[in-house]
Amino acid sequence: MFFDPQCIPCILKQAYNSASLFTDSKEIQLEILKSVCARVAEIKPDSAAPWFSTVIQDLIEDRLAISDVYSGIKEKNLKIALSFQPVIAERIATSENPLIESIKAAIAGNAIDYGANPDFNISNEVHKIGEINLDEPTLQTFLNSVKNAKKILYIGDNTEEAVFDIFLIKALGPERVVFAVRSRPVLNDITIKECKQLKIDKLCEVVESGSRVAGTDLRQCNNQFLDLFNTADVVIAKGQGNYETLLDVKRDIFFMFKVKCPAIALRCGQAEGTAALIYKANSK
């Protein structure tokens, strides 16, 4: 798990942004912020910022008496993301190495984040895919690892970026990929519902992780997921939330995400805004 004091202002900013997104009532916004502040005061050393996305969403949904509050936003942005599928498909089809181009596209899609990066622009991210430069040694380690892998666990992140993930799943070989999703709606993260909508369940095996936060908390995960996590030849974890919650786990993991804050930039050693492919070996 990763937590830094710098995370606290970001948590409060996310709480305000989320509350103001769904209600204009200053009274309700203040009520939600005060409740989040009370929870922040109880932070423990093994806390992680992605947990607070669930805390914030629960407070909003309880106060406004609605569920899956981001569902309408996911639907709207999913249509936009899908409109770029032909552009991405063309980039990959005409590239010298379709697998590498698919990796870049998948990482670019991670910019779509209502927690750490609410001001994202899908069009900008698509058109900047060609500017992505991945760390060459890490890329080669990844290519070598997936070359002979029989089982690849691919931990998804947000719903809209799953449109980009589909290309990488196809490039890896869908028959050996298991795509894992959240077990409850949190932010714009993908669940079984959106997997079926995108027909990912027809492309490869799909499982719920059991995690109910905007990341992967192994203490919440079900036995099916834990067995896959421990035995898969390769684990790919998408998103900064998965990086924050899994970076200390003792197994090899490839993280793919856009670096969205100074604290994570310092922790992973890459500049804020970077499209990151990071390899965490079991011993590190």
Winning range, highest mean pLDDT, from 41-45, 123-127, 227-231:
227-231
Q: What are the CA-CA distances from residue 7 to residues 15, 97, 100, 196, 260 (Å)?
A: 12, 38, 32, 34, 12
**39 vs 127, which has greater pLDDT?**
39
pLDDT of residue 225: 98
For 7-64, the fitting CATH number among 1.10.8, 3.40.1350, 1.20.1300, 1.10.10 is 1.10.8
Average pLDDT over residues 195-204: 97
Average pLDDT over residues 51-80: 91
Give dist(CA 179, CA 264) in Å, integer. Answer: 25
Measure CA 86 to chain center.
23
Spans of all domains in the chain: 7-64, 71-280
At 201, the pLDDT band (50, 70, 90 cuts) reads very high
Question: Is residue 228's pLDDT more than 80?
Answer: yes
pLDDT of residue 48: 83
- Give the H or E element holding residue 230: helix 223-231
Average pLDDT, the chain: 91
Average pLDDT over residues 116-140: 81
Average pLDDT over residues 210-231: 95
- Give the H or E element holding residue 125: helix 122-127
pLDDT of residue 47: 78
Read off the pLDDT of residues 83-116 as tens digits, 9 standing for 90 and up.
Answer: 999 999 999 999 999 999 999 999 988 887 665 5
pTM assigned to the model: 0.93
At 140, the pLDDT band (50, 70, 90 cuts) reads very high
Percent of the chain with pLDDT over 70: 96
pLDDT of residue 180: 98
pLDDT of residue 117: 54
pLDDT of residue 284: 47
Asked if the domains 7-64 and 71-280 are classified in one and the same CATH topology, the answer is: no
Read off the pLDDT of residues 256-281 as tens digits, 9 standing for 90 and up.
Answer: 999 988 889 998 999 998 999 999 99
Give dist(CA 247, CA 192) in Å, integer. Answer: 25
pLDDT of residue 15: 94
Q: CATH homologous superfamily for 71-280?
A: Uncharacterised protein PF01937, DUF89, domain 3 (3.40.50.10880)
Question: Is residue 190's pLDDT more than 50?
Answer: yes
Measure CA 19 to chain center.
21
